[in-house]
């Protein structure tokens, strides 16, 4: 128990060192030079195409009224949310709280969608799914575009 606490604290410290390192590099660097992409950014890149596919398939499962298929796709997204919270965007990296908040919102809107599908209420599930898409877009507006 103790050991893992120490590990968490250490990794948090390392994380903030990395962030301030990059912020420093940003300030110093001239245009045209690439900011080094670290592991947590790579993770985010790797994750996003899956989000696109799973959310498209989730939407089509709702269209078809297939609650089981909707759950399969929702679970794919939910399985990555923790990693999403731990990953790091290129832009506005200091606004971590907002980033983690949007990842949490993604989680909640996906759960709400699949719960409605489970009850057979597909028209409300589709409305709930719109909020999922809005969350994708809100995060991209702030941290990607
Ligand atoms: C918490 C923030 C956040 C949420 C929520 C989010 N994304 Fe992203 N997404 C990003 C960021 C940041 C990038 C840019 C990645 C980069 O620059 O490394 C991105 C990039 C992408 C890309 C482009 C591929 C890439 O690696 O650049 C796609 C496609 C994508 N997201 C789809 C989605 C879909 C679909 C959803 C919703 C189901 C979603 N995202 C939810 C933050 C988010």
For CA atoms 52, 95, 8, 106, give the dihedral sign.
Answer: negative
Residue 40 has pLDDT above 90, yes or no: no
Position 20 scores a pLDDT of 44
**Does the beta carbon of 136 lie inside 6 Å of ligand 1?**
yes
Position 7 scores a pLDDT of 58
Tell me, in angstroms, the distance from the centre of ligand 1 to residue 88's CA. Answer: 11
Q: Give the start-to-end residue ranges of the domains of the chain.
A: 1-34, 37-143
Contact call for residues 111 and 81 (beta carbons, < 8 A): no
**Could you tell me how far CA 23 lies from the centroid of its own chain?**
22
* Predicted TM-score (pTM) of this structure: 0.78
Q: Give the residue among 78, 65, 81 at the shortest CA–CA distance from 117.
A: 65
Helices H / strands E in the chain, number of each: 5, 0
C-alpha to C-alpha distance for 93 and 23, rounded to whole angstroms: 9
CATH architecture of 37-143: Up-down Bundle (1.20)
DSSP, res 37: P
**Does the beta carbon of 54 lie inside 6 Å of ligand 1?**
no
Tell me, in angstroms, the distance from the centre of ligand 1 to residue 107's CA. Answer: 14
Mean pLDDT confidence for 112-127: 98
């Amino acid at each position: 128990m103790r050991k893992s606490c120490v590990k968490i604290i250490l990794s948090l410290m390392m994380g903030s060192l990395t962030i301030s390192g990059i912020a420093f590099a940003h300030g110093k660097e001239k245009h045209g030079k690439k900011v080094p992409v670290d592991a947590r950014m790579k993770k985010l890149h790797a994750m996003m195409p899956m989000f696109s596919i799973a959310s498209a398939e989730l939407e089509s499962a709702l269209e078809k009224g297939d609650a089981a298929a909707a759950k399969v796709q929702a679970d794919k997204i939910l399985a990555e949310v923790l990693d999403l919270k731990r990953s790091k965007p290129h832009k506005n990296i200091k606004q971590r709280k907002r980033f983690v908040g949007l990842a949490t919102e993604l989680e909640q809107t996906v759960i709400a969608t699949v719960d409605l599908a489970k009850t057979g209420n597909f028209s409300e599930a589709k409305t709930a799914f719109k909020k999922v898409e809005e969350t994708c877009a809100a995060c991209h507006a702030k941290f990607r575009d």
